[in-house]
Amino acid sequence: MQRRKFLKKSGLTTAGLLSAPVLASCKTETAKAPTLSETKAVKPIVICTWNFQNASAKAWEVLSSSGSSLDAVEAGVMVEEADTSNQTVGVGGRPDREGRVTLDACIMDKDANCGAVLCMENIAHPISVARKVMEETPHVMLAGLGAELFAYEQGFEKTNLLTEQSKKEWEEWKKTSKYETIINIENHDTIGMLAIDENGDIAGACTTSGMGYKMAGRVGDSPIIGAGLFVDNEVGGAAATGVGEEVVRTVGSFLIVELMRQGKSPQEACEEGVKRIMKKNEGRKDFQIGFIAVNKKGETGGYCVHPGFTYREYSDKGHENKTVESFYQG
């Protein structure tokens, strides 16, 4: 089947690409502002939500051997999907209230091609199924049993996703069946990853088992293009973690990319994204959201609702776990 081709997004003006410090450095009115091609972009580079060292190292391995950003983000997040100690992604993820582990993932490439799987059971690597949806079908999203059957058709194996640990915790949870989010600890290890390869092309991936003990059939922001993840190769990319319902309501990642298109730095755009959410939730303190973003120049940023969110960055300058500022201070 033919890969979908999407309409190219509108062009980015030169002014829109310049960050405030660059503009401020123009000493006289007649000074020629540097264009993107004159400022050295940081590439390749990869960032991901939280301190996922192994996942970002894997993505860096792909990027530093001239791999594409798409291959890098897929390989990177697969590390977390396979890690049973991460109870919010892939195998070992916390189940829904009925004890079923259902996974959500999406992927987006430099040409705005994208693919997603929603609420899919029994498959260890939803990100790779999402990529197959993108590359092998005329669709963007497949959900539930349809996604799972498609995965088998594509050669994926049936895998039990519920580990003994997650099962034990779920059985304990059932005694009270209290559904609440615990900031930064529980329910928040979703991996969203953004990469720029040596050609300067951007891709992103996002994968999760969603909120632990969610209602059966619940889908959050992570597999929704524009909410949990968005990439525009002319501008940059953004990804989210946290309570997906709030991210969906503001189409958070798309918003952040659009703010960067208008000239905001990744940091400023992430801050504005969180502030939009908080404006609709005045006084609420019971949820966490963290955004990360990268622009075409390889500048990065992150912001969150509560302290504690970090993102990992990997480039030829080294790697670092970056603590981000938050809307609330403590």
Distance, in Å, from the CA atom of 243 to the CA atom of 248, rounded to the nearest integer, reads: 9
Query: Does 44 sit behind a cis peptide bond, omega within 30 degrees of 0 on the bond before it?
Result: yes
Torsion of CA 202, 133, 254, 75, to 10 degrees: -40
Q: Does 95 bind ligand SD4 (CB under 6 A)?
A: no
Q: Does 44 bind ligand SD4 (CB under 6 A)?
A: no
Q: What binding mask, one character per residue, do residues 255-284 give for ligand SD4 by CB under 6 A, x or -? A: ------------------------------
Active site annotation includes 323: no
Q: Does 296 bind ligand SD4 (CB under 6 A)?
A: no
Q: Does 250 bind ligand SD4 (CB under 6 A)?
A: no
Beta carbon of residue 220, minimum distance to ligand SD4 (angstroms, whole number): 2
Interaction residues for ligand SD4, span 175-194 (CB under 6 A): 187-190
Q: Which of 190, 148, 186 is nearest to 170 (CA)?
A: 186
Decide: 270 and 238 in contact? Cβ < 8 Å.
yes
Q: Does 166 bind ligand SD4 (CB under 6 A)?
A: no
Q: Does 80 bind ligand SD4 (CB under 6 A)?
A: no
Q: Does 221 bind ligand SD4 (CB under 6 A)?
A: yes
Q: Does 222 bind ligand SD4 (CB under 6 A)?
A: yes
# of chain residues touching ligand SD4 (CB under 6 A): 15
Beta carbon of residue 264, minimum distance to ligand SD4 (angstroms, whole number): 23
Q: Does 302 bind ligand SD4 (CB under 6 A)?
A: no
Find the binder of ligand SD4 among 241, 250, 267, 300 (CB under 6 A): 241
Helix axes 126-136, 144-153, angle to 10 degrees: 80
Q: Does 223 bind ligand SD4 (CB under 6 A)?
A: no
Q: Which of 190, 208, 241, 310 is catalytic?
A: 190
Window of 67-75, 169-177, 203-211, 302-310 that interacts with ligand SD4 by CB under 6 A: 203-211
Beta carbon of residue 239, minimum distance to ligand SD4 (angstroms, whole number): 10
Q: Does 242 bind ligand SD4 (CB under 6 A)?
A: yes
Q: Does 288 bind ligand SD4 (CB under 6 A)?
A: no
Q: Does 220 bind ligand SD4 (CB under 6 A)?
A: yes
Beta carbon of residue 244, minimum distance to ligand SD4 (angstroms, whole number): 2
Q: Does 244 bind ligand SD4 (CB under 6 A)?
A: yes
Q: Does 211 bind ligand SD4 (CB under 6 A)?
A: yes
Window of 62-70, 150-158, 220-228, 265-273 that interacts with ligand SD4 by CB under 6 A: 220-228
Catalytic residue ranges:
190
Which residues of this chain interact with ligand SD4, rule CB under 6 A? 88, 187-190, 208, 210-211, 220-222, 241-244
